[in-house]
Amino acid sequence: MLSAQVGSLHDRLLCSREETDDMNTKNAHERIDPELAEALKAVPMTEAGVFDVSDLAGTRAGVRAFAEAIAAGTPDEPSVSVEEVDVVRPDGSTLPVRLLRPTEAAGPLPVLLWFHGGGQVLGYAAQDDPALKPLVLEVGCVVASVDYRLAPEAPAPAAAEDGLLAYRWLRGQAAALGIDEGRVALAGQSGGGGIAAATALMIRDQGEPAPLFQALSYPMLDDRNTTASSHEVTDIGIWDRATNILAWNLVLGDRAGADEVPPYCAPARATDLTGLPPTFVAAAELDVFRDEDLSYAARLQAGGVPVELHLYPGAYHAFDLFAPGAAVSAAYVHAWYGYLRRRFSARQP
């Protein structure tokens, strides 16, 4: 059944951009889920939307201030411990990895290697603490949140290289960390979802032991911006076409959209998706990334990878973060947590 569903979605992506634009562009706002539309009214917008990546320094500062305000207003969770460790890169610099652990769970525990969102140009690991602590308790796992390098200071594939380093470190230190080296998985949202996917490709190609699975939430996968949804979503304000193009130009420089972009920089460029771990993909209907996410899921499934795919109608990018109380957000969290629990209940052979 999944094969037929994914295949059908893949076929739908082949309709012409003109037909899709004609059907969708004029009524994109009308198609937003009512709860999400109400939440959107309260989101502060610049002329460039929520994230003005043309003012990178200012937007980074704004993201940090907003995340710190949320953290300050969130009751502490004493059942989750937080520790930050520095992993040494080959050049001697350090990669911070933030470890969130359930204090009362007996080990060795499964671990989710987590990559925060931000279009690969914004954000930092600690911003997700308020959202990850409930996950730690509900799923019963350790979360290792990677403070990977951002573009343009560190262009792709620097972030995926950080992901590979963190993955190797977790497995190598499993006994000391109280984790199960056979139950290490990758996950991320938005730009972080793209980095998780790129890290999975690096792990496979380097011949490392495979992750247990990868969980990709509305991931940023394709620098080319040629899909129907990349033309359709232009004025919702969360992460529209213009913002995405600017972000990819920061991530790749003048390589963005060129013929020879490595898959470690943009995973949709990978021609071979065989041998990757079981994959969860969550996509939003009114998201620039919708079609590249659906296509990636279809291609994974065609390559023999077990795929669980969810498409959320009426949802814009990062809907669960902007409207956590909405029913569609609750449905997403239920599906995501359920997938994590089921997959973590199995161990690598």
- Contact between 109 and 178 under an 8 Å Cβ cutoff? The reply is yes
Give me the pLDDT at residue 156, please: 98
Q: Which of 264, 267, 297 is nearest to 163 (CA)?
A: 264
Catalytic residue among 33, 240, 287, 320: 287
Tokens 């998985």 belong to which residue? 185
Catalytic choice (116, 147, 229, 317): 317
pTM, whole model, 2 decimals?
0.92
Which amino acid, one-letter code, is at 229? S
Question: 231 an active-site residue?
Answer: no
Segments in the chain below pLDDT 70? 1-26, 347-349
- The residue from 33, 145, 162, 190 that is catalytic is 190
**Is position 29 annotated as part of the catalytic site?**
no
Question: Cα–Cα distance between 4 and 11 in angstroms, integer?
Answer: 10
Q: Pick the closest to residue 220 from 146, 153, 122, 79 (CA basis).
A: 122
How far, CA to CA in Å, does 288 sit from each of 73, 223, 285, 317, 335?
A: 31, 11, 9, 8, 22
Spatial CA neighbour of 177 closest among 85, 287, 271, 297: 85
Tokens 């992993």 belong to: 87
pLDDT at 23: 44
Q: How high is the pLDDT of residue 286?
A: 98
Separation of alpha carbons 166 and 98, rounded Å = 11
What does the pLDDT read at residue 347? 60
Residue 287 is a catalytic residue: yes
pLDDT 10s digits, 289-327: 999 999 999 999 999 999 999 999 999 999 999 999 999
The Cα–Cα gap between 20 and 290 comes to 13
